């Protein structure tokens, strides 16, 4: 009887320790919050990242993000994206982005920009930084009219924080360009040769 109580107590303590460990791991990702307006954007945080440049291995992170989300948040071009880190993060950092397919793989496997990506600078002050979402000019490479519909451009972002050796990865949907540009491109694509 005493042995059963000890075993039950040990199992309870082990289960409690595992539960606490899972909460502490889960809180690592929540230490960085990405938002646009009232929309929260989930992130993947990876430790020991190698550099700010996008690498082919980052495609795996984008695919992981996509496989775990049934809906991709929409951010309008010209909208602000705010990144809040729950630590004193100050300085200028580069965030890079590439175009993705619906499965998280690179839209253009030979994207020359995979190493550099579309680069935007973010200035952090006391753990908070933001940037304005601008066009990724590679969105105009598509000859598919569906890629110019509102919200059809899927973009993967990587922010490398060199002082902490962390990479933050997230995915959004947006437009290829502003409405007038999209209409002009769509008309060019759909125009029949005479």
Q: What is the pLDDT of residue 34?
A: 96
What is the pTM for the complete model shown?
0.73
Could you tell me the strand order of the sheet in which 44-47 lies?
44-47, 166-174, 153-161, 91-100, 118-124
Q: What is the pLDDT of residues 125-152, one digit of tens each?
A: 999 999 999 998 888 888 888 999 999 9
CB-based contacts of 174, cutoff 8 Å, min separation 6: 74, 75, 76, 77, 133, 151, 153, 155
Q: What is the pLDDT of residue 161?
A: 83
Which residues of the chain have a pLDDT value below 50? 12, 15-29, 113
Q: What is the pLDDT of residues 8-18, one digit of tens each?
A: 555 545 544 44
């Amino acid at each position: 009887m005493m042995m059963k109580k000890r075993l039950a107590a040990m199992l309870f303590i082990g289960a409690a320790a595992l539960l606490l460990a899972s909460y502490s791991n889960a809180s690592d990702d929540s230490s960085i919050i990405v938002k646009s307006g009232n929309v929260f954007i989930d992130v993947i945080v990876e430790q020991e990242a190698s550099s700010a440049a996008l690498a082919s291995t980052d495609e795996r992170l984008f695919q992981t993000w996509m496989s775990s989300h049934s809906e991709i948040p929409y951010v309008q071009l010209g909208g602000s994206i705010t990144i809040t880190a729950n630590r004193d993060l100050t300085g200028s950092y580069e965030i890079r982005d590439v175009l993705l397919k619906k499965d998280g793989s690179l839209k253009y496997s030979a994207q020359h920009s995979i190493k550099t990506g579309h680069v935007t600078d973010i200035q952090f002050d006391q753990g908070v930084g933001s940037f304005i979402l601008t066009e990724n000019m590679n969105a105009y490479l598509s000859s598919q009219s569906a890629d110019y519909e509102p919200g059809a451009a899927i973009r993967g972002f990587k922010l490398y924080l060199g002082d902490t050796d962390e990479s933050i990865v997230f995915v959004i949907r947006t437009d290829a360009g502003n409405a007038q540009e999209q209409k002009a491109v769509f008309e060019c694509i759909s125009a029949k040769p005479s």
